Structure 1
């Protein structure tokens, strides 16, 4: 069984026991989080599709850690103008372990 959830403006295909990296979430490591924006649920039978979300469905997870993404450097140079600009950025991320899906047996 798997679900497609939406968080941080992105969509993730998750199953029970997966660890995903999402945009930063509020909370400390060990806290439980709930993703209410479930776009699709698929299992043994026909998949359930939301318009845009499935009513009453939610995916449970647990925050594993807060981390930062790789460094991204934006370098702009204009030739023959003696003009250049260098900017760096690291995105704040959160690793989440999926603990439960609607209609699936809980995993430990």
Structure 2
């Protein structure tokens, strides 16, 4: 089974064909096919191709399934004995994709 290591949104992911993945939000419509061109490595069994830093001409194609927001992360800051408390929350946007084609 072939796999690839891609970079998107400042993070690196190991992906295989048919795998669903939540990545940082990208401006694309639901159902649109996108191309992820920052491919760091491609593996097929024991064979492994590694780029420096990217493999030239390699493009992983994916279909956008949905857009959404992750669960809320709660941030609580406190300084003891100083009468200081701060509560804050954050929900990160994401784009869910499914990997279609990994180059050979």
Using structure 1 for the length normalisation, give the TM-score: 0.92
- C-alpha distance after superposition, 1:18-38 (max 9, x if no partner): 111100011111011110000
Deviations, residues 44-80 of structure 1 (Å, cap 9, x unaligned): 4521100000000010000000011110111111111
> What SS class does the counterpart of residue 47 from structure 2 fall into?
coil
CA-atom RMSD in angstroms: 0.9
Q: What is the aligned partner in structure 2 of residue 37 from structure 1?
A: 38
- Structure 1's unaligned 5+ residue stretches are 104-108
Number of the residue aligned with 2:54? 53
Q: Whose strand proportion is higher, 1 or 2?
A: 2
Please list every run of at least 4 consecutive aligned residues from structure 1 whose deviation after the TM superposition is greater than 3 angstroms: none
> Aligned equivalents of 1:82 and 1:45: distance in 2?
60
Matched residue count: 103
Matching residue of 2:82:
81
Match of 2:55, SS? coil
Q: Which moved more, 1:21-30 or 1:38-47?
A: 38-47
- Unpaired runs of at least 5, structure 2: none
Corresponding residue of 1:11: 12
Tell me how far apart the structure 2 counterparts of residues 31 and 88 of structure 1 sit (CA, whole Å). Answer: 31
User: Normalized against structure 2, the TM-score is what?
Assistant: 0.95
